[in-house]
Amino acid sequence: MKRLLLTALCALFTGAGAAQVTSPIVGFLTLHLQAGTNFIGFALQPGLELQASFTISASDRTQIFLAGDHLTLEDDQFSTGAQPTHLVEIVTAGAGEGFTSVITATAATGRQLSLAEPVPAGVADGARLKVWRLWTLGEVFGADNQAGLTGAESAGEADLVLLPNGAGFDSYFYCTGGAFGQGWRREGAGTTDQADVPVLLGGGGALFARSAKSVILTGMVKPGPTRVTLRTGNNYVTNLCPVNASGENASSEGRTLGNSGLATGLQSGIAAEKADLVLLWNGSGYDAYFHASGGPLGNGWRKAGAGTTDQADVALPDGAFVILRRGAPLTLALDQGGF
């Protein structure tokens, strides 16, 4: 997959409770899908809908209240059904910068947002946030499959969009008719429409393509760091940098192992068996990289089986990659460059 970025500016968004404004960069990315397995992730976001400062409930840090007398919210504005539709990102510098959580409820009274995760302890009243809309399957690929994925009456003949569910993948496809009707379907879920299934920010996935094809997506660059939670075991992580470190239209701003910030927080080790692994798909399997902490391999990024050769300049893929976390769950800040 190769990513191309237009540096156009969209309209100004005014933050509630302050005169601060942000002009998001709007661009597009092209997913060049090869036949077989493709790891996908979306550096561009579908829409920035609100900026504001906020206060936090003293008894429950999942409850926050937007500040600014001129700001109004409607009930369920950012939580319209069973599936999450929006998330909050904390943008104030400090311990919580880059924290994100989906919004589970919106109340007009008190301009209140309920979050799935508590705001980090280091964040105080007066911090600022952004509200981003989440991609859905129907929006990314088109409610009627305008992206041109291979559709079929069964999952066994269609392109498959594979989204992590915590224990493995849920498999989605565009059904062209037959027993399951027409539209987005999840394998094993009958005729239930899946067009509104969200694609969570920072969480990568995979797409199994029956043939090579390209998909173009237009959206906004999310600037600043993004915090992701890594579980023990395999985690699928999106490369949120909007430009490439290698390949088509390569840029020095693209993310590599060395400039990604992954070494901070991940478990280093004197051998691959002792460290967290960054697993990059090579078309038929994974190349395993880790941050060496000394011993015969020295210090720095190394590839399993490649001795002391420095791997800091290895480019992260355009879409997504896997982190094998060996220790307890942790929160890691992804450095996506100065955008």
Domain boundary among 93, 113, 133: 133
CA distance 174 to 154: 9
Distance CA 305, CA 2 (A): 28
Q: Are 318 and 214 in contact (CB under 8 A)?
A: no
Of the two residues 212 and 32, the one the predictor is more confident about is 212
In 3D space, the residue among 323, 317, 268 whose CA is nearest the CA of residue 293 turns out to be 268
The mean pLDDT of 170-190, rounded to a whole number, is 97
Cα separations (Å) of 169 from 148, 164, 193, 204, 230?
A: 22, 4, 18, 11, 16
Q: How confident is the model over 194-204, as pLDDT tens digits?
A: 999 998 887 77
Q: CB of 140 within 8 A of CB of 199?
A: yes
Q: How many domains does the chain have?
A: 2
Domain end point (choices 108, 133, 158): 133
As a whole number of angstroms, the distance between CA 99 and CA 120 comes to 8
Tokens 């399957």 appear where?
137
Q: Is residue 127 part of a domain?
A: yes
Residue 255 lies in a domain: yes
Is residue 146 in some structural domain? no
Q: Is residue 79 part of a domain?
A: yes
107, 133, 159 — which closes off a domain? Answer: 133
| Whole-number Å distance between alpha carbons of 161 and 283 | 17
Does 253 fall in a domain?
yes
Q: Which domain holds residue 82?
A: 47-133
pTM of the full predicted structure? 0.86
Neighbours of 301 (CB within 10 A): 22
Residues sharing a CB contact under 8 Å with residue 20, sequence separation 6 or more, in sequence order:
14, 51, 128
In a domain, 194, yes or no: no
pLDDT digit string, tens, across residues 94-144: 889 999 999 999 999 999 999 999 999 999 999 999 999 999 999 999 999
Contacts of 69 (CB under 8 A, 6+ apart): none
CA atoms of 228 and 212, how far apart (whole Å) = 31
User: Would you say 28 and 147 are in contact if contact means Cβ atoms under 8 Å apart?
Assistant: no
Q: Is position 299 within any domain?
A: yes
218-233, pLDDT tens digit by residue? Answer: 889 888 889 988 999 9
* Per-residue model confidence (pLDDT) at position 15: 35
Q: Which of 39, 1, 7 is nearest to 23 (CA)?
A: 7
Based on the domain organization, do 127 and 228 belong to the same domain? no
Quote the pLDDT of residue 272.
96
For residue 259, is it within any domain? yes
Q: Is the dihedral of CA 216, 229, 73, 24 positive or negative?
A: negative
